[in-house]
Structure 1
């Protein structure tokens, strides 16, 4: 997991941190992101997909940046698409009080090949849903 200084909430700092974290890892990597970190993982793929390509991504409570979501410098470029065949799991809890549940619908439309997991409970931290998340991570690693 990348570590950032308290003032490191810029896209540039996060992309550099993600790159540094991925550098020593090989092709057996599964990217797991939560909240802001998952939106930065997607932005990493938009700017320059990592090499080697990871086994897949599991993204939790991902905020959608842009005209149909939150405003900020973190929006994905028009025409964004993940590499074909990259498995992606999107998780979001209906009772998340941080990232609106509707952001999941935006990503489902943007990433039509993604497996979408809508959880009724778990909040922003996925309290009672971590077993489902862990099964998706394990499925990518097997």
Structure 2
């Protein structure tokens, strides 16, 4: 099984500790490519996500953070080719189109993930980058998601990666 970590916007360096902690806790490689931070279009990020998916193979789990999490959700809702991943574990996912957040990345009306795809949504209440109310909006849109609210940890999940690794581990069995 392969693991793909999709970093946040401008966060390739900032998110390295998250991917490294997952590698350490899970004892497996976690791929983390550099997504095109100079081109924040969904098309550019989808192209890299597709390239990574094809390189890693069909037995894949996706972990996404912030903007990267939202791109994984958007891609899985339409335009995904090949076998579905074993699941998604998403951290601090923005709900685009809500107050002040660009609608160009919004999930379309009637959005649904493929049936049976496990989804874990993690968010820290003290996140000062993506407000925790984004989690509530996503949970309402995706009623099958397992929702994990952490009291502390901020946007970079300080002290919370054990819980994230536990959910990623559930996708292995």
TM-score normalized by structure 2?
Answer: 0.78
Distance 1:96 1:22, change over 3 A: same
Contact 1:26 1:52 in 2 (8 A): no
Residue from 79, 85, 88 that aligns with 1:48: 79
Give 1:1-142 correspondences, 5 Å limit: 1-67=32-98, 70-142=101-173
For residues 69 and 116 of structure 1, the distance between their equivalents in structure 2, rounded to whole angstroms, comes to 24
Shift of 1:49: 2.5
Q: Distance in 2 between matches of 1:60 and 1:50?
A: 23
For residues 77-120 of structure 1, what are the alpha-carbon distances to aligned partners after superposition, in whole Å with 9 as ceiling and x for unaligned? 11000011100000000000100000000110011000000000
Task: Give the superposition deviation at 1:50.
Answer: 3.7
Normalising by the residue count of structure 1, what TM-score does the alignment of the two structures yield?
0.94
- In structure 2, the gaps of 5 or more residues are 1-31
Q: Using the TM superposition, give the Cα deviation of residue 72 of structure 1 relative to its aligned residue in structure 2, in angstroms.
A: 3.5
Contact 2:36/2:44, CA 8 A, preserved across alignment: no
State the distance in 1 between where 2:50 and 2:160 align: 28
Shift in Å, 1:51: 1.6
| Distance (Å, rounded) in 2 between the aligned partners of 1:53 and 1:5 | 23
> How many residue pairs align between the two structures?
142
